[in-house]
Structure 1
Amino acid sequence: MTALPDVSEPQFASLADKAYMAIRDRLIMLDIPPMTAIDDVALARSLEVGRTPVREALKRLEIDRLVISYPRRGTFATGVDITDLAYISEIRVQLEPLAARRAAETASAATLAELTELADRIDKVDVRTLERDPLMRWDLHVHRAVYAAAGNPHLEDTLIRYDNLATRIFCLFLERMTNFDAHVGEHSGLLRAIGERRADDAERIARDHVIGFEKAVRAVV
């Protein structure tokens, strides 16, 4: 099997960054289930950091709408509410095509070559043989590669935030979905359109991808 992409962060500016990325990953992948109480002591122990970095990370994650804090009750993973899907899709359907177009029009030749190489790797993967976690990591990796290639850090940060929320929904309903392989397979076409600077095609594929995801989830709810 083709090697999975490395979606880990190579460096962290601080222990709080390390804690943020690690806890965010667990929340996105539902390793910390929705509505679960967050034990900052246990998290600090498992991440081998102090409680202060964990608390700083949780403050950032509350801004990301991945956790919520209640006075005198503590901090909890936010719920995954299907009614949020429409709101998330409303934003993504505008911004994902924008990122794809920007990437096709402005990314460097080296970046475009990397996206095309990523498409080649995807084409060699039998998606239906993958477990949930590696499948989701492919999905996250492709979207983040496109966001980065767009060259707008504010757009990238916003899209990552909403893609994280969409990924939680994806994880929750993945086992019920029958065409998830087609959804992931669309990544190859998107990456190739960007790599070949076909901005109109990249924009269209990105938009259809978001719309198709919402329809696929609603079909199994």
Structure 2
Amino acid sequence: MNERVNDEPASVSLTDQAYAVLRDRLVMLEIKPGEPINEDRLRTELGVGRTPIREALKRLEQERLVVAYPRRGTFATDVNISDLSHISEVRRTLEPLAASAAAERATAQDRAALTELRSQLETAARPGDNTALLRDDVGVHRAIYRCVHNPFLEDTLISYDNLATRIWCVFLPRLSGMAGHVDEHVPLLTAIVDGDGKKAGELASQHVIGFERAIRALI
């Protein structure tokens, strides 16, 4: 299920492709906090020109995933645990809103996709692999956000989920119960598929609160 993190459609532009790859590497800390971004290496690796890389980096800077310094270059942003309360404050409001809206607005095709995703979660074998679990978590969130059918809200949700995931990654080696956190998505997906907006909102709220508690227990 790991491939779900980078879930951009095949028809996207070169800039979008570069953005998606870089975004997920930054989110999962495959590019370490504070690490310089080597544009020449990325161009060779991704097979794109200078412009797509630079346009992608501009978007990532707006999303607080990279920072550019004059005459020094571009670097992955640091992960500041002190940001947890601010990020969680936003997510406690937006995640329930998104889940409730998804339950109400999801198309028949959306519901079929979420049903398939739920089946994958129920049958996935990933014992002790917190990284795979976290990728599953990100993939489920993005699938739900798509069902809201509001591109402005979807972009905002993804941005804050990305920042929250980076905090997860810092503590990943020390986290226990990650499988349970991801499995919470099964009843959430069921509520959305069934069109139960109230229950979906409540479950999403519990999920975000549980994330913050799990991290605070390790600080």
TM-score by length of 1: 0.93
- Taking only aligned residues, the RMSD between alpha carbons, in angstroms, comes to 1.5
**1:197 matched to 2:195:** yes
Specify the code of the residue in structure 2 equivalent to 1:25. D
Which residue of structure 2 aligns with residue 156 of structure 1? 154
Q: CA deviation at 1:5?
A: 5.4
Distance in 2 separating the partners of 1:103 and 1:93:
16
- Structure 1 residue identity aligned to 2:24: D
Match of 1:186 among 165, 184, 187: 184
| Paired residues for 1:77-156 under 5 Å | 77-130=76-129, 132=131, 134-156=132-154
The answer to whether the aligner puts 1:210 opposite 2:208 as a matched pair is yes
Unaligned runs of 5+ in 1: none
Q: CA deviation at 1:110?
A: 2.8
Secondary structure, counterpart of 1:13 in structure 2: coil
Separation in structure 2 between the aligned mates of residue 126 and residue 182 of structure 1, nearest angstrom: 13
Give the equivalent residue in structure 2 for 1:10.
9
How high is the TM-score relative to the length of structure 2? 0.94
Q: Name the SS of the counterpart of 1:32 in structure 2.
A: coil
Cα offset, 1:4, TM superposition:
5.0
The answer as to whether partners of 1:12 and 1:18 remain within 8 angstroms in 2 is no
**1:37 maps onto 2:43 in alignment:** no
Per-residue deviation, 1:71:
1.2
Local SS of the residue matching 1:41: helix
CA distance in 1, matches of 2:189, 2:121: 10
5+ residue gaps, structure 2: none
Return the alpha-carbon distance in structure 2 between the equivalents of residues 5 and 38 of structure 1: 23
The match for 1:27 is 26
The alpha carbon displacement at 1:129 in A equals 4.2
Kindly, what percent of the aligned residue pairs are identical?
53
